Each structure stands twice: as structure tokens, then as C-alpha cells.
């Protein structure tokens, strides 16, 4: 256990227990730290570390990655946000609820006594965050996503910071969250102040805007866009390898009537597929086969993906499944 500062409070967190929940490549568990291959990039030699306790030069929970060119380092909530594929705000909420016994959550309402009425805190981000970004990215083009598809999903490219952006937009057109992914590594982060990722589905605004009745559900945003690029069927992304009841509700309220499951070809992807099949009841479900050697949809050739969609398999789901 170690004392770390979270949201202006000092709480006692079991850092080692928290990071043991995740799979690590070539891990070396020391009494005071973990050394492993970097989770932020493709790495074959352990050059990443995270401290379990304070040291002479760093606080508990601090991490560093010295093997990726420019030295990268950060704090514990940032690391957990990456590993969980969610915002730092959600990690802060989790840590406080898990380790701060007196934490009862932040109120979403405030009382304006001068006017004697309740005011609801406005949720989401300012659309101006998308201003001054390049409209297209050669990085995404290299991943098989045309400029036209990039514009359809409203991607952006921040050349100064070397990141591509994926806007999560609500059905009524508000910017809910903004994911930023570096083009030179697997590292990503979210713009602060957005709606929790557990409530959001990438691309769902397009289902409403253009009345899409069928969609391909993926884990990653790039897979969703690639699916649309190749097949013309709307791709939507969970943004993670699990699906929450909130995400299910968002999809079931949309125009989507048929869902093709395009989760990753690994253990986490199988878990997501099972969750989707168990949680939905009123939407027709299909699964596809991903060829051996391909880890996700973006790994497949256009011909392979087209054939997989053409040969999709209908799956019966119970009408009594509820989100």
C-alpha cells in the first residue's frame, strides 16, 4: 500500500494489486516495482517500470518508458486510464470509491439559492476542441482508411503533438469525449472533462444522423472506420474490450436493428463477443470468422473482410436479455 494524491485527497492505494489485474509481457515483479515490456508500443525488451512505493526520485505509482525514443513518464491514474481504456476522471472516481471510505461521489447538481431552482451541470466538451485540427491524416490513410471516411467520422490530426483524434459524439450532436492517439506508439489519452467512456459508443451519432439500420461492432475506433471503409456498413466501437449496460442502452435506443460482432481475434475479443450476445435481446445478432493470423478487422485484407461479412452467421438471442 502507498499514499498517493487523488483529486486533492491523499489515499492509501494498493498499487501492486491494481496493476496485477492486467497482462504484462516479460514481467519482473520486484518488491518495489514492476519491470516489463512497454504497454504503450510494440516492445520486445523490458524497458517499462512502475513503482509500488515512493523512491528517492519518484512518487509511488510513477511509471516510465525509456525504450521508445523520447523518454516517457507519467502518474498512476494516467497509467490505469490507458490500461482500462477510459478517461482519467473515471479512474479517479474508481480509486476514491475503492480506497476512500468516506467518499460518496460528486453531486451532479448544484443549488442556485439566489434563483431558488436546481441547475444541472452541463456535460460534455466544447466543439471548439476540434478547431485548428487538420481534417485528414496520412497515418489513418496508411491504416486503410480513406480521407472520405476520415471526414465522415470527423477525425482530426494534430501535427504539433503527433496525434490523431477520434470524437465521441452524442446522438444529438454534442461532443461527449475526445480520444487522442499517438501515431508513433499505442499510447492514447482523452481530453479532460468529457462524459465517462462507459456511457459512450463511437459512431452512434452517425446511426442517428443517417438512419443506419445495420452496424458492425468493434473494440477499436480504427477497426470501426476500416469496416465502414471496406463494406459501407456503419462501424461503431466500444472503445474497450467490454460492454457496459449504458453502452447497450445507447445502441438499443438507436435506429440500429442488426449488429455484426467484429471483436478482436483474441481472448479479450471472445469475452466481448459473449457479453454482447448475452446483453442484447431486441437486435438481430451476427458473428463473423476472422482468418488465422489476423488479430482484428484492420489486420484483414478488404477481400477477407468482405467475405467474412458476406458469410456472417446469425445468432439467436433471448428476448428476455436486458441491458
Residue pLDDT, tens place only, 32-57: 899 998 887 777 778 889 999 887 76
Contact 177, 232 (CB under 8 A): no
Residue 202 has what DSSP assignment?
B
Phi-psi region of 273 (alpha: psi -120 to 50; beta: other; left: phi over 0): alpha
How far is the C-alpha of 70 from the C-alpha of 78, rounded, in Å? 18
How far is the C-alpha of 177 from the C-alpha of 126, rounded, in Å? 10
Antiparallel, parallel or unpaired: β 9-13 and 28-29: unpaired
| Size of the chain in residues | 323
How far is the C-alpha of 168 from the C-alpha of 32, rounded, in Å? 38
Proportion of the chain above pLDDT 70, given as a percent = 89
Which residues face 109 on adjacent strands? 120
Does 3.90.580.10 match the CATH number of domain 2-99?
yes
Asked if domains 2-99 and 127-315 share a fold, the reply is: no
| pLDDT (tens digit per residue) in 212-228 | 999 999 999 999 999 99
SS3 content of the chain, % helix, strand, coil (to 5): 30, 25, 45
State which of 172-176, 191-195, 298-302 shows the largest mean pLDDT.
Answer: 298-302
- Among 148, 162, 145, 147, which residue's Cα sits nearest to residue 218? 145
Contacts of 265 (CB under 8 A, 6+ apart): 290, 294, 295, 296, 299
| pLDDT (tens digit per residue) in 264-322 | 999 999 999 999 999 988 899 999 999 999 999 999 999 999 999 999 999 986 544 44
**Where are the domains positioned within the chain?**
2-99, 127-315
- Among 34, 87, 20, which residue's Cα sits nearest to residue 65? 34
| C-alpha separations of 206 from 47, 170, 279, 280 in Å | 41, 9, 22, 20
Q: What is the CA radius of gyration of the chain?
A: 21
| pLDDT (tens digit per residue) in 229-240 | 999 999 999 998
Q: Which CATH class is domain 127-315?
A: alpha beta
Residue 24: all three cell numbers together: 504484462
Contact 168, 123 (CB under 8 A): no
Contact 68, 41 (CB under 8 A): yes
Amino acid at each position: 500500500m502507498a499514499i498517493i494524491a487523488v483529486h486533492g485527497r491523499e489515499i492509501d492505494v494498493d498499487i501492486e494489486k491494481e496493476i496485477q489485474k492486467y497482462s504484462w509481457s516479460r514481467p519482473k515483479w520486484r518488491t518495489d516495482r514492476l519491470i516489463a515490456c512497454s504497454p504503450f508500443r510494440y516492445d520486445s525488451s523490458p524497458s517499462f517500470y512502475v513503482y509500488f512505493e515512493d523512491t528517492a526520485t519518484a512518487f509511488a505509482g510513477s511509471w516510465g518508458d525509456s525504450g521508445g525514443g523520447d523518454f516517457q513518464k507519467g502518474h498512476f491514474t494516467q497509467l490505469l486510464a490507458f490500461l482500462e481504456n477510459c478517461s482519467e476522471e473515471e479512474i479517479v472516481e474508481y480509486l476514491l470509491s475503492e480506497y476512500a471510505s468516506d467518499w460518496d461521489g460528486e453531486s451532479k447538481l448544484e443549488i442556485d439559492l439566489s434563483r431558488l431552482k436546481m441547475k444541472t451541470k452541463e456535460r460534455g466538451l466544447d466543439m471548439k476542441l476540434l478547431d485548428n485540427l487538420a481534417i485528414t491524416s496520412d497515418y489513418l490513410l496508411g491504416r486503410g482508411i480513406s480521407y472520405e471516411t476520415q471526414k465522415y467520422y470527423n477525425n482530426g490530426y494534430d501535427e504539433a503533438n503527433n496525434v490523431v483524434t477520434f470524437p465521441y459524439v452524442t446522438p444529438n450532436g454534442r461532443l461527449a469525449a475526445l480520444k487522442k492517439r499517438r501515431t508513433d506508439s499505442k499510447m492514447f489519452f482523452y481530453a479532460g472533462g468529457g462524459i465517462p467512456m462507459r456511457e459512450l459508443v463511437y459512431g452512434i451519432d452517425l446511426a442517428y444522423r443517417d438512419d443506419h439500420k445495420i452496424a458492425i461492432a468493434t473494440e477499436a475506433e480504427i477497426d470501426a472506420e476500416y469496416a465502414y471503409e471496406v463494406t459501407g456498413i456503419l462501424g461503431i466501437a466500444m472503445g474497450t474490450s467490454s460492454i457496459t449496460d449504458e453502452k447497450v442502452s445507447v445502441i438499443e435506443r438507436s435506429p440500429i436493428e442488426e449488429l455484426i460482432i467484429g471483436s478482436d481475434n483474441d481472448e479479450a475479443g471472445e469475452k466481448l463477443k459473449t457479453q454482447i450476445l448475452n446483453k442484447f435481446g431486441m437486435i438481430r445478432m451476427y458473428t463473423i470468422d476472422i482468418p488465422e493470423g489476423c488479430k482484428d478487422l484492420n489486420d484483414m485484407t478488404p477481400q477477407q473482410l468482405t467475405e467474412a461479412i458476406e458469410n456472417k452467421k446469425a445468432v439467436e438471442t433471448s428476448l428476455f436479455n436486458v441491458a
